[in-house]
Amino acid sequence: MILLFLTSGLFLGWSLGANDAANVFGSAVGSKMVSFRKAALIASVFVLLGAVIQGAGTSETLGKLGAVNALGGSFTVALAAAVTVYLMTKFGIPVSTTQSIVGAIIGWNLFTGNHTDSRILSQIISTWVSGPVIGSAFAILLYIILKAIKKYSSIHLVRFESFIRTGLIIVGAFGAYSLGANNIANVMGVFIPSFNLHEINLGILTLSSAQQLFMLGALAIAAGILTYSKKVMETVGNNIVELSSEAALVAVLSQALVLFIFSSTWLSSFFIRVGLPPIPMVPVSSSQVIIGCVIGIGIYKGARNINFRILGEIGIGWIVTPLLSGILAFISLFFVRNIFNIDVGRKAERITATDTHPALMTAPDQNISNIMQYLLLGLLITGITAILFYYFLERKKRTELKKSEEKFWKNIK
């Protein structure tokens, strides 16, 4: 039953993987610099790592906005967010899971009579605007640097493209890590206050209940990447303006930096140590940040070929997405509570993700912990098998090509 409640979050994770992986590897795959198979494999591994290692910061902020304290409530909130993402995608508006989940949490707050912290809300909303703006500033700066390197280094085009390809893979991995770290809160954040699992001790590290949830969410994201992102990557990769390989590298790196900045607790503490204001740990929309980055490059190049309609659509998304998911969450919560008689949460003042009352949580379930351990083992075996399979497939392809070349020249002679 507990796992059934998670399905809405997992669905949200799946759609995030299917849509947002394109922001990280879309340009590389769309321009044929990196094969889809390689991109999907790297993105899946690094999303998982980012979510488990660094996902806590942004989840805490979402928890402060509204700590959904019943599984039925978490399920409904995540479902409302997922349906909103689906509907907005259907209407072709660049949608953000962050905005959707924030709206749904506020809907839950309103329904249960919980107070919405306006300071946290304004912090979150300000990053929706500042994320793309910082992204575009990074993009312009990095693009100027890369262009200067290309111009003055006299590096051979083949070698330069080779560096760019390697860069795209490394930056893509960093982008996927940051995506996992920053956006896992959207997928699993609402479940943390009402979910309690036994810790798993792996010898070198211990996975807390939240980290296990993040791992499940990241697996859903990985499933989205592996099953549905190919089409999105190939078609959406160059949607805004046609990107050259170096522009693609810059856009992905800038986006990864923005996502990393808004999810790195270490960087935030460093800012405090040097006397600067702390960086808010907020999940930002990877789609909107990358659009900001690409527009930054477009502005630098003369802003002739930018699709400005997309900017308008982002603006619409900022208002419509949270509004729609909030209303949807409110109505769904009403039905879930009154028709299905499921507890969707109650008024619990000053409850945060880190300060949850034990009475509000489910008791740790040994069966689920066992399932998680088997899942980890399965994940490890699948990962190793996939890497080996990929290696042998590539080797076979090369050997066949070499043989056909030798045969061709032998026949010519």
Partner 1 sequence: MAVFTRTTKNLILKIDEFFDNIDLGLLVFREGVKAYLNKDMEAFNRHLQKIELLESNADKLQRSIENEMITHSILPQHQGEVSSLINVLDEIIDTIKATLNDFSIEMPEIPASLNHNFISITEASVCAGEELMPAARAYFKSPYSVREKLLKVYYFESETDKVSRNTTRIIFQEMKELDLSQKSHLRYIIQHIENISDNAQKAADLLSAMAIKIVM
Which stretch in 155-163, 209-217, 263-271, 371-379 sits in contact with partner 1 by CB under 8 A? Answer: 155-163
d(CA 317, CA 303): 23
Determine the distance from the C-alpha atom of residue 320 to the mean position of all C-alpha atoms in its chain, rounded to a whole number. 21
- The only residue of 4, 158, 204, 359 in contact with partner 1, by rule CB under 8 A: 158
Nearest to 101 by CA among 122, 81, 128, 129: 81
Encoding tokens for residue 329? Answer: 């969450």
SS3 343: coil
Which residue's CB is nearer to partner 1, number 169 or number 360? 169
DSSP string, 175-195: HHHHHHHHHHHHHHGGGGGG-
CB of 168 to partner 1, least distance (A): 10
Residue 401 interacts with partner 1 (CB under 8 A)?
A: yes
CB of 178 to partner 1, least distance (A): 21
Residue 161 interacts with partner 1 (CB under 8 A)?
A: yes
Encoding tokens for residue 187? Answer: 């997928």
Which stretch in 25-33, 80-88, 138-146, 380-388 sits in contact with partner 1 by CB under 8 A? Answer: 25-33
For β-strands 206-207 and 200-201, DSSP reports them as antiparallel
Residue 367 interacts with partner 1 (CB under 8 A)?
A: no
Which residue's CB is nearer to partner 1, number 380 or number 401? 401
Which residue's CB is nearer to partner 1, number 32 or number 231? 32
Which stretch in 62-70, 324-332, 365-373, 393-401 sits in contact with partner 1 by CB under 8 A? Answer: 393-401
Which residue's CB is nearer to partner 1, number 162 or number 385? 162
Window 297-336: contact mask with partner 1 (x via CB under 8 A): ----x-----------------------------------
Residue 339 interacts with partner 1 (CB under 8 A)?
A: no
Distances 4 to 11, 163, 376 between C-alpha atoms, Å = 11, 46, 20
- The only residue of 122, 162, 366, 382 in contact with partner 1, by rule CB under 8 A: 162
- The only residue of 245, 285, 332, 356 in contact with partner 1, by rule CB under 8 A: 245
Residue 410 interacts with partner 1 (CB under 8 A)?
A: no
d(CA 231, CA 106): 33
Encoding tokens for residue 183? Answer: 């956006």
Which residue's CB is nearer to partner 1, number 166 or number 366? 166
d(CA 161, CA 181): 29
Residue 32 interacts with partner 1 (CB under 8 A)?
A: yes
CB of 154 to partner 1, least distance (A): 5
d(CA 27, CA 103): 30
375 CB-contact burial (10 Å; exposed 0-12 / middle 13-18 / buried 19+)? middle
SS3 201: strand
Which stretch in 87-95, 98-106, 372-380, 398-406 sits in contact with partner 1 by CB under 8 A? Answer: 398-406
Which stretch in 42-50, 111-119, 162-170, 189-197 sits in contact with partner 1 by CB under 8 A? Answer: 162-170
Which residue's CB is nearer to partner 1, number 82 or number 295? 295
Q: What is the largest CA-CA distance in the chain?
A: 85
Which residue's CB is nearer to partner 1, number 115 or number 397? 397
Residue 33 interacts with partner 1 (CB under 8 A)?
A: yes
Encoding tokens for residue 158? Answer: 């083949």
Residue 262 DSSP one-character state: T
Q: How open is the CA angle 320-324-329, to the nearest 5 degrees?
A: 150
Distances 16 to 32, 58, 94, 156, 375 between C-alpha atoms, Å = 23, 16, 12, 38, 21
Window 193-232: contact mask with partner 1 (x via CB under 8 A): ----------------------------------------
Residue 239 interacts with partner 1 (CB under 8 A)?
A: no
d(CA 309, CA 142): 25
Nearest to 32 by CA among 238, 173, 199: 238
For partner 1, the binding residues (CB under 8 A) are 31-33, 35, 151, 154-159, 161-163, 165-166, 169, 244-245, 301, 397-398, 401, 405, 408-409
